Every structure is written in structure tokens, then in C-alpha cells.
Amino acid sequence: MTLTDKQFAALWNNSEEFPRLQDIAEYTGLAYKTIKNKAGIYRAKMLEDKSLARLIDRTIAPAERSTLPELQKIYKDISKKELVAILKEIWREDPDAAITRHTFRNKTGLADSCWNKYFGTFLEFKRQAGLEMNRNQHQVERQIAKHVSVDHYREFNARSELDKRYLRNSDKKVKVIVGCSDLHDVEIDRFYLRTLIEGCRIIQPDVINLGGDIFDLPEFGKYAVDPREWDVVGRIKFVHEHILKPLREAAPNAQIDFVEGNHEFRLLRHLADASPALKAILSDLLGLTVSKLLGLDEFEINYIARADLAAWDKAGADKEVAKSYVIYDDAVLVHHHPHAKNWGLPGWNGHHHSWKVDHCKHALRGAYPWMQLGCGHHLKAPYTEGEFWSMGVNICHVNTVTKSVNMEYVPVTDMAVVGGVYFHRAPGE
């Protein structure tokens, strides 16, 4: 149906027969959006043609429209400057009172059409009168709030100073580094754990590298966990008592380096927030420090973490976590994420729980291998269905003089071989 301006205004203002815009749309055979667009076009014409009928305000409930000045035909051609002066005078009468379009209508007897042809919305009307912040002021306010909202996270950024507290000097020509990743606290495979600990006892490596996500702590993750199943303190104690302590006892002279993963990152972010899980930590672990939480001082562990915890979103958090890595003897690099493979050094990453080897090339250094480690997380978790996960440990030999690197990957299945010693999965593991 083609509508003239007069016909459209009549339909729009007939709130008794057409209480909803959808009713007008159905009557005319036009789309709901088309009706709304026609109203906008019509109001623009009203600015040029004073003879056009005024449109009622359909944001007001139909039962209240009979009281609108538009229907009482209380309309005056008042200038923009005069309207602003009137609004300011109303504000001066009671500066603490909120001024709404209803307040303005009652105090002045003026129709909304007196001001909305200049300002569009009542909020903009108040902005023009200096009674509301303008858009730029609001934007600055939002930016300030955004920065303040994450300032408390930066209190934990001092953890970046924990990476060299327990270095072990070695003058060996060839160093041995044992690398593992993604153990996920109580979710660790028990046979994998035994292989890792006893393997370190046999090899006596110079360095043990924990490549991130040693903790799982789903209480702080993005996946839904029944709060009744929370056991934050139990998981933390498990890492201390069943992973870190046995590793330190098995290799007392080894340097242990802990590279921050995304699970540790989100844990420490939550430490600055109020949550039930945090309260459990605070009550059961006396003295809240990163060192105590992660067992760094107790087991003489270096913590590699350069990420700014004050990240805005997941993308920002991933970018920050990517800053945490370690380089040994200018020869081998360890990172939690795989993009480090393009940084020109051989090495390995975790995160994806599946083993693979990429052959990379550097313009100056030539070809080099990059390995993605399997995890220590058991493979029978309900949320691993369809995943191509695998378990394994890396044994890396580094010539500190020539900078050559040999990596020996140890798959962990129902058996494993470390240093020529066979390990077999026992019943119950």
C-alpha cells in the first residue's frame, strides 16, 4: 500500500484502532521496519513543513496517550534557545530532582513536539542544556572506569620477578632438560606421573621445565562446573604433595622452571576478585602470596610469567600469556603456546595435548625442529571425547658450546622407556 503523508499520520495517531506498530504494518501490508522508517522520514518533513500533523509519541503506553499535550494540541513554535532556557530554569528550581520528559511536560504544558524537532531525544535535550555529560565526556568516563576495573590485577604483576630466584649453575658441556606440560593437577594420569618422577630420578636432569597448565582448577575456568564439586584447596595441595614435592626429591640438584600457562594466568586473575573459590583459598592457605600458592619457595622453583594480568578480554589474555617463555643457553626455547616455533630456535610447546613435530627454518640458523608435547592429563575424561590427545615427556640434550640440540620424546601409553628403563602401567593406573 502506498500512503500519503496525511494517511500515514492518521494511521500513526490512531492509537485506539492501531495500538501497536505491528497493527499498522498488518493493516497496510508493509513491514514493521518500513513503518518505523516512514515515521523518521515524516518527522524530518515536519521540520520543513509546519502544516503537517504532529505524530504522537508511541513510546508512551496507549492508556497514557490521552493525557499527552500532542492530543490536547498544546503546541507552540518555541526556539531552540528558549527551550534550553526553560529547561535550565526548571533545573534551578530543584537541582537534586531528576528531570524527565514527563516532568518537563507537566511543568510547561508543552508538547514533546516542541523540543524533539530540535533534539530528537530528551537526553540530547538535557545534554544541549548542559545538564547531562556529552558523548565525549561519557567516553572518557567509560575509559577511566575500564582502566580502574583492572588496576587491582596489576598488583600481582610483580610475579615477573620470580623467574631467577632459584637458578642452578652448571658448567657441563651438555645439559639435560626434561620438559612436560599440561598436567592439570588431579586430572593427571597416574602412570604418566610415575614415569615422570622416576624418569627424573634415573636421568638426574640439569633442568626440569614445567611448561604450563600444571594446575587445572576448573573452578576458575570458562566451562561450567557444579559448585558442589569445587575442591580448590584439594587441587592445589595435590600439585604440591604429589607433583612438585616428589619431583624435587627425585632430582634435588635440578633447576625447576615453571612457565605460566593459561590456567595459571586465569587463576591469578581470580585471586584479585571476590569469589567463593577465592574465599576458600584465603581461609585454607594462610598468607596469600603467589609463591606460596604455587609452591615456589617450598620447592625452589622459578616462575616464568611476563603477562600483564590486566587484560581486557580473552584475546588480550592470550596475547599476554604469549609473553611467557624461557630460553636455555641461547639454544633452545620453551613456550606454552605453539606460535613460538617461528621464533628461530628449536624447542617445544604444550597447550594442545597432542604430540607432533614441525620442521622449521631460520634464514641464519638453518633448519631446526619444533616439538609440541603431549599432555599429562589422563585420556579418559568425559570432555576429551573426539579429541586426539596423547601423553608424553621430552628429554632434551643441549650442547652449550656448539648450541646443538637433540630432543628425545618419550610417549607414555601403557608403557614408556626412559634412560633405557622400561615402565609398565600397573593395575589401577
pLDDT < 50 positions in the chain = 63-73, 147-148, 152, 223-224, 226, 274-276, 279-280, 282-287, 312
Cα separation, 143 vs 163, in Å, equals 33
Q: Residue 75: its pLDDT value, please?
A: 64
Q: Regarding beta strands 347-349 and 366-372, do their DSSP bridges make them parallel or antiparallel, or are they unpaired?
A: parallel
Q: Residue 181: its pLDDT value, please?
A: 96
What's the pTM value of the predicted model, to 2 decimals? 0.63
Which residues lie across from 409 on neighbouring strands? 394
Q: What is the 3-state secondary structure (H, E, C) of 125-179?
A: HHHHCCCCCCHHHHHHHHHHHHHHHHHHHHHHHHHHHHCCCCCCCCCCCEEEEEE
Q: Residue 96: its pLDDT value, please?
A: 81
Single-letter residue type at 133: M
Q: Residue 276: its pLDDT value, please?
A: 45
Residue-range domains of the chain with CATH: 5-128 (no CATH), 161-424 (3.60.21.10)
Cα separation, 264 vs 274, in Å, equals 17
Cα separation, 120 vs 108, in Å, equals 18
Main-chain phi, psi angles of 72, to 5 degrees: -90, 0
Q: What 3-state DSSP class applies to 372?
A: strand
122 and 87 Cβ atoms separated by less than 8 Å: no
Q: Residue 289: its pLDDT value, please?
A: 67
